Structure 1
């Protein structure tokens, strides 16, 4: 099997199965008869630009990078509802608080969601600094948007 065929198989697998890790992806490829090792899968994941999105089950799973903007924003909302306990604007930043130990998981979900108004995040144990992208509105407006997910059902 060549690289193109293997990568097509990967895209098909992540479209039809809930795959959360490279090890799971390698196992799924082997189940289909492809002889792969984790390092090859890792390289393919990077080349294909796979991203992780929140599945309806709440689990982060691989998806093709052409996942719609609406899906990515829904994933951010789901992660906010699951992990965040507070949101506030503070100067040029938005501060998101979580229970102890959850900030990193939420920051990763926000970063992977590629919100158009967020340049990036920095996470501690229970606090995330969200950096708004220049020219996309005020930190207060972004804080209001993110905080709106906390009361949404």
Structure 2
């Protein structure tokens, strides 16, 4: 099997399935009849620039580089609905509240989602400070994060 065919199969698999390990990729490729070893898959992962992203399930899975902004925002929305209990603007920051012990998990999901208007987060036990990028309206960011809580 050619390098190109195998790498196209990998891209299709990570798009269609939640695969979190190289061993999982090897297994999925073998199920489709590709004869591969983990060292080859490891090289393919590096060459393709695959990254681990948080799936809606909360699990880290492989994704192709340049994941679509809509996918990233969806992942952030899923995490917000799972963990957040409130959102409010506080000066130059957005404050997101969670039940005790969940702020870190939500902050990590927000950071890994690489939202284009979020510079970063700082998490405590039940509170997250979300800093917007320069030129971004804090009020608009707070409204967007609040809207995630209102969606089904």
> Given the superposition, is the C-alpha separation of residues 130 and 47 from structure 1 closer, same or farther in structure 2, using an over 3 Å criterion?
farther
CA shift for structure 1 position 131: 0.9
CA-CA distance at 1:84 after TM superposition: 0.6
CA 149–43 in structure 1, closer or farther in 2 if over 3 Å, else same: same
Aligned to 1:151: 150
Alignment correspondent of 1:19: 19
* Secondary structure of residue in 1 paired with 2:25: helix
Cα distance change, pair 12–120 in 1 and its aligned pair in 2 (3 A): same
- The answer (yes or no) to whether the contact 1:53–1:72 under 8 Å persists in 2 is no
Using the alignment, how far apart are the partners of 1:51 and 1:148 within structure 2? Answer: 26
**Number of aligned residues:** 149
3-state secondary structure, aligned to 1:111? helix
TM-aligned CA distance change 1:91 to 1:3, over 3 Å: farther
- Matched with 2:45 is 44
Structure 2 segments unaligned to the other structure (5+ residues): none
Kept in 1, the 8 Å contact 2:50–2:63? The answer is no
**Distance in 1 between residues matched to 2:71 and 2:116, nearest whole Å:** 13
Instruction: Give the TM-score normalised by structure 2.
Output: 0.76
Give yes or no for contact 2:102–2:126 (8 Å, CA) kept in 1. yes
Matches within 5 A, 1:26-105: 26-29=26-29, 32-36=34-38, 41=42, 44=45, 48-55=49-56, 58-60=57-59, 61-105=61-105
- CA separation in 2, counterparts of 1:148 and 1:42? 41
CA distance in 1, matches of 2:90, 2:12: 43
With the length of structure 1 as denominator, give the TM-score of the two structures: 0.75
- Structure 1 or 2, whichever has the larger Rg, is 2
Q: 1:100, CA displacement in angstroms?
A: 2.4
Structure 1: segments with no counterpart, 5+ residues: none
Find the aligned partners of 1:101 and 1:4 in 2 and give their Cα distance: 45
